[in-house]
Structure 1
């Protein structure tokens, strides 16, 4: 496994075009591999995420079973003359192997928190986005047991009355990712599919602290992603040392 970081030159037209089209960016990411990486059900796969740290610092993170080549992204949306090559790739497998039970990490995750509902008896279920922080946080909490991690709880004197304040966790950066499968923009939206070729995804970003409860399960979850819409910038969790 590899973890790659690429910085967009947000002033370039090519960068702006990619950042406004999850479909185009997905295609650009997948074009980073000479041969299509495997996408087994539940196994390691290509994941990517955009971090908007500031107007001038927009980063792309990619995890993948094989090493990528982002030359085309550098030429289209980066700094072609910058040194070194325009992106950095790390040996992610070594990092994953070193994860141990009860270790605590700061984490960041962009995900598509959805649930299935049935509006009327007899109707098929429909996938719907969680719209409020309370239910978005509850969605992540439900991922803990099968994800091999636990969100760190605050000390009792630091808690508030609401459930979402019990944890070292913040949710924000909600945005609607909406596009047509042919690559054209479909405007802003939520999580349901609208029309034959229109796709709408509600993405939110989680930040906080977690404790590893089952290293083997957690490694697989980091490599395979959390939740839906993995092809469109959701599901990638990254870790950093707690400071």
Structure 2
């Protein structure tokens, strides 16, 4: 299994960079344009493209994960700086009982049944927050070969934009989860790292980042 991580530091003085950072749909199209054309249907899934926008010491950064390296020459001139590295050594080093640090921006939701929706006047999808969101993440982690040790959640702005194909507006609530966990199933974790977790994967949700925890 080969995975690549690309770190893009967009120059927010660049018009295209500012536009992409303000609309998840535009950023999705920008990143997909870094890969070969004519891949066909389900191109994102085929390429394993996941991304996350986050604050870093050097400023806002875009993390892009994929199963093949992107062509960074396709970024507009002056868009920012970017570099790609393989994640295969990290994947190969995963083992049971290894303690890791994790971070993910995910679409924590629940889908209540019709009776519950009618009783409480709820929509078909209900965003979760606080303790309910953390419980959602712990369940997702357990299904991803992890046992959560610590978790800290932070509400983020929703991923928004207008889809080009049908002009429908999209909105995906996002919560950032970070902390430490114990690997219980390395193979399951590798699969979930590649596939992503939860909904909204095309729009900046579901990219799980991990690193070995520092030993005290």
Q: TM-score range by the shorter chain?
A: 0.7 to 0.9
Helix, strand or coil at the partner of 2:110: strand
User: 1:145 offset after TM fit, Å?
Assistant: 2.6
Which structure has greater strand proportion? Answer: 2
What are the within-5 Å matches in structure 2 for residues 88-107 of structure 1?
A: 88-107=83-102
State the secondary structure of the residue aligned to 2:197.
coil
Unaligned runs of 5+ in 2: none
C-alpha distance after superposition, 1:69-90 (max 9, x if no partner): 1223352521xxxxxxx32211
Q: 1:4·1:89 contact (CA, 8 Å) conserved in 2?
A: yes
Give TM-score scaled by structure 1 length.
0.76
Kept in 2: contact 1:44–1:224 (CA 8 A)? no
**Aligned equivalent of 2:131:** 134
Q: Distance in 2 between matches of 1:57 and 1:74?
A: 19
1:68-79 to structure 2, matched below 5 A, reads: 68-73=70-75, 75=77, 77-78=79-80
Change (3 A) 1:40 1:9: closer
Q: Which runs of 4 or more aligned residues in structure 1 lie more than 4 Å from their structure 2 counterparts after TM superposition?
A: 37-44
Q: What's 2:189 paired with?
A: 218
State how many pairs are aligned: 207
1:230 aligns to what?
A: 201
SS of the aligned residue for 1:105 comes to strand
Label 1:104 to 1:74 Cα distance change in 2 as closer, same or farther (>3 A): farther
- Tell whether the 8 Å contact from 1:108 to 1:207 is kept in structure 2 after alignment: yes
The answer on 1:47 being equivalent to 2:50 is yes
- Indicate conservation of the 8 Å contact 1:103/1:211, yes or no: yes
1:186 aligns with: none
> 2:24 maps to which residue?
22
CA RMSD in angstroms comes to: 2.7
CA distance in 2, matches of 1:197, 1:238: 30
Q: Secondary structure at the match of 2:94?
A: coil
Deviations 1:118-145 (A, max 9, x none): 3128x9x812211x21111011011133
**Unaligned segments of structure 1, at least 5 residues:** 79-85, 153-167, 184-194
CA contact (8 A) 1:102 1:211 kept: yes
TM-score normalised by structure 2 residue count: 0.85
Structure 1 counterpart SS, 2:25: helix
